[in-house]
């Protein structure tokens, strides 16, 4: 993970973020039904997306880790889970801030929010299992199991909650569909946050690898 | 501009989370540096390390 | 069927051991009954209210009683160091998983078979219908597939009693939702087609997690 690549990616993320900011606040027209609050949408979708993307990475890294037993993969899973937890927390908070002006309630048990909440608990379980496991290697294995089981569970949770509550009452699907300007703004925002995710992931991953290496050295001396 | 407060709070929270996480990472990095320093000192203080590691 | 027979040996061991102390069944059953009675005081009221609340009460009870009984599943193994013995035995790890799982399934079913009539009696509701029994059976299978896996995991951690619920509850959310909905529909006298989507979800959960837990169990108990 050479520093040059990281600088470039960070720079790219900054550029994309600024572009997204401009698009969100200056370029895109105000949605007629919801007013300006609708612009939170361009923040919420990326948060939800990051929460999911992180978990996908955790899932794949966990599988490879269990198969190959190389700590680098565990570091990847750990780092992605950490960022994922932050992203999921963000998704829940932004989701509430969106729900309040639109639907009048801070929280609702609609499919997407509920599934996000469950995901949040799965992330917490991931870390809890690690710290309660007694020793590092066992903790890593247990966490990998949580990563796999949790990921497989997620679609079933979405299915069950969707059947349970039905879709948003008119919420996210706008009355006029998604105008091209909105689509552009959304895509840029998604790209900006995805690149940010990659930067943070790379950074955290190399830090984590350093931490485990140091721990190993200390154990060996 | 009725609901501007909500948009502001949403963005503020996200910024707080991102910067909070960055500070957290900086903290981990400082921690690693401290550990490396102490390891280095440990190696220097060994006049002749007992064989290979 | 050799595999199944080996697994049944473990199940038999668990059953025999449980028959001696009756520890799991008594404690979980007592807990279930107390929870049901407490809910009756919490929600006690009209018959319409009972009809609304009963499915939820039923499944909260079964979920928490299930956690109690699943917690016990591997604690004995750990404390008496039986787990090492099991692992040295010439059986694959998966056999241990299925054996323990079937044991837990049996215990939970016994508890449920006793709790259901009590619920019917206290709440005046037709809880003993075929539909409810099917829902209960399918949901319990789902509970024990992941429950056995997590129990084996929890027993190897420092805070075993708290770890199992924290792992278990988020994962079985789909089962709880579906079981409550399906039970509610059954109590209201709806036909099987109405229950079908919910039963499908539970069934899918059972199948998927049976396979996944089966694969992953090995990584939990290897040393």
Closest Cβ–Cβ partner in A121, A122, A132 for C159: A132
Average pLDDT of span C12-36: 84
- In chain C, residues with a C-beta closer than 8 Å to the C-beta of A125 are 166-167, 170
pLDDT, greater one: A173 or C98: C98
- pLDDT value at residue C75: 81
Q: Where are the domains of chain B?
A: 15-40
Check whether B49 has a pLDDT greater than 60. Answer: no
Average pLDDT of span A116-142: 91
Mapped onto helix, strand or coil, the DSSP state of residue A220 is: helix
Condensed to tens digits (0 to 9), the pLDDT of residues A41-53 reads: 889 999 999 999 9
Check whether A175 has a pLDDT greater than 60. Answer: no
In this prediction, residue A171 has a pLDDT band, given cuts at 50, 70 and 90, of very low
Q: What is the CA radius of gyration of chain A?
A: 19
Check whether B46 has a pLDDT greater than 70. Answer: no
- pLDDT value at residue B1: 58
Least confident of A17-26, A116-125, A153-162, C37-46: C37-46
- How much is the mean pLDDT over chain C? 86
Closest Cβ–Cβ partner in C157, C173, C209 for A160: C173
- How much is the mean pLDDT over chain B? 82
**Contact indicator for A91, A117 with CB cutoff of 8 Å:** no
Min distance A11 CA to chain C CA atoms (Å): 38
Report the complex ipTM. Answer: 0.88
Average pLDDT of span A169-194: 74
In DSSP terms, A35 is beta-bridged to A31
Condensed to tens digits (0 to 9), the pLDDT of residues A60-92 reads: 999 999 999 898 999 999 999 999 999 999 999
pLDDT, greater one: C79 or C168: C168
d(CA B31, CA B45): 21
Mutate to test the interface with A, among C138, C146, C153 (most CBs of A within 10 A): C153
Average pLDDT of span A177-193: 85
Inter-chain contact A129–C153, Cβ cutoff 8 Å? yes
d(CA B43, CA B1): 63
Average pLDDT of span A109-113: 85
Closest Cβ–Cβ partner in C158, C178, C212 for A152: C212
Chains C and A touch (3+ CB pairs under 8 A): yes
d(CA C167, CA A143): 11
pLDDT, greater one: B18 or C85: B18
Min distance C141 CA to chain A CA atoms (Å): 15
In DSSP terms, A31 is beta-bridged to A35
Neighbouring residues of B52: CB distance < 8 A, sequence distance ≥ 6:
none
Per the structure, the count of domains in chain A is: 1
Domain, as residue range, for A35? 3-169+178-220
In this prediction, residue C189 has a pLDDT band, given cuts at 50, 70 and 90, of confident
pLDDT, greater one: C4 or C80: C4
Check whether A169 has a pLDDT greater than 70. Answer: no
- pLDDT value at residue A173: 47
d(CA C138, CA C112): 12
d(CA A102, CA A94): 12
How many CB atoms lie under 10 A from the CB of residue A10?
Answer: 17
pTM reported for the whole predicted model? 0.89
**Contact indicator for A201, A79 with CB cutoff of 8 Å:** yes
Q: Is C201 on the interface with A (CB under 8 A)?
A: yes
Q: Is C153 on the interface with A (CB under 8 A)?
A: yes
Condensed to tens digits (0 to 9), the pLDDT of residues A17-41 reads: 888 888 888 887 777 777 777 888 8
Mapped onto helix, strand or coil, the DSSP state of residue C189 is: coil
Check whether B3 has a pLDDT greater than 80. Answer: no
Inter-chain contact C174–A160, Cβ cutoff 8 Å? yes
């Amino acid at each position: 993970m050479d520093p040059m690549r990281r600088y470039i990616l960070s720079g790219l993320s900054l550029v994309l973020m600024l572009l997204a900011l401009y698009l969100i606040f200056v370029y895109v027209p105000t949605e007629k039904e919801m007013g300006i609050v609708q612009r939170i949408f361009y923040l919420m979708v990326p948060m939800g997306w990051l929460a999911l993307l992180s978990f996908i990475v955790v899932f794949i890294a966990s599988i490879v880790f269990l198969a190959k037993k190389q700590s680098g993969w565990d570091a990847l899973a750990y780092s992605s889970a950490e960022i994922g937890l932050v992203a999921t927390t963000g998704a829940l908070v932004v989701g509430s801030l969106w729900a309040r002006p639109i639907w009048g309630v801070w929280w609702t048990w609609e499919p997407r929010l509920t599934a996000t909440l469950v995901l949040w608990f799965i992330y917490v379980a991931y870390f809890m299992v690690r710290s309660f496991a007694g020793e590092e290697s066992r903790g890593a294995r247990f966490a990998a199991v949580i990563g796999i089981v949790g990921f497989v569970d997620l679609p079933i949770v979405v299915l069950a909650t969707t059947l349970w509550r039905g879709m948003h009452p008119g919420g996210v699907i706008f009355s006029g569909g998604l105008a091209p300007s909105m689509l552009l703004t959304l895509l840029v925002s998604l790209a900006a946050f995805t690149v940010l995710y990659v930067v943070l992931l790379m950074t955290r991953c190399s830090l984590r690898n350093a931490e485990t290496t140091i721990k190993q050295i200390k154990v060996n001396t | 501009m009725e609901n501007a407060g909500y948009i502001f709070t949403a963005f503020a929270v996200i910024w707080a989370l991102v910067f909070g996480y960055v500070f957290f990472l900086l903290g981990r990095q400082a921690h690693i540096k401290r550990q490396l320093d102490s390891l280095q000192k440990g190696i220097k203080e060994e006049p002749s390390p007992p064989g290979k590691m | 069927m050799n595999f199944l027979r080996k697994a049944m040996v473990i199940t038999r061991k668990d059953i025999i051991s449980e028959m001696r102390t009756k520890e799991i069944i008594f404690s979980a059953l007592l807990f279930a009954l107390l929870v049901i009675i407490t809910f009756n005081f919490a929600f006690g009221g009209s018959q319409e209210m009972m009809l609304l609340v009963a499915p939820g009460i039923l499944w909260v009870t079964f979920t928490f009683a299930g956690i109690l009984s699943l917690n016990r599943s591997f604690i004995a193994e750990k404390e008496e160091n039986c787990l090492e013995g099991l692992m040295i035995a010439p059986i694959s790890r998966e056999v241990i998983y299925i054996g323990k799982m079937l044991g837990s399934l049996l215990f939970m079913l016994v508890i449920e078979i006793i709790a259901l009539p009590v619920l019917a009696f206290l709440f005046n509701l037709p809880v003993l219908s075929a539909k409810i029994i099917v829902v209960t059976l399918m949901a319990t299978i789902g509970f024990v597939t992941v429950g056995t896996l997590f129990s084996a995991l929890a027993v190897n951690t420092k805070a075993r009693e708290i770890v199992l619920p924290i792992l278990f509850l988020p994962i079985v959310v789909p089962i709880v939702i579906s079981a409550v909905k399906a039970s509610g529909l059954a109590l209201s006298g709806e036909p099987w087609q109405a229950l079908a989507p919910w039963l499908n979800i539970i069934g899918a959960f059972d199948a998927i997690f049976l396979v996944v837990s089966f694969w992953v169990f090995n990584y939990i108990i290897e040393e």
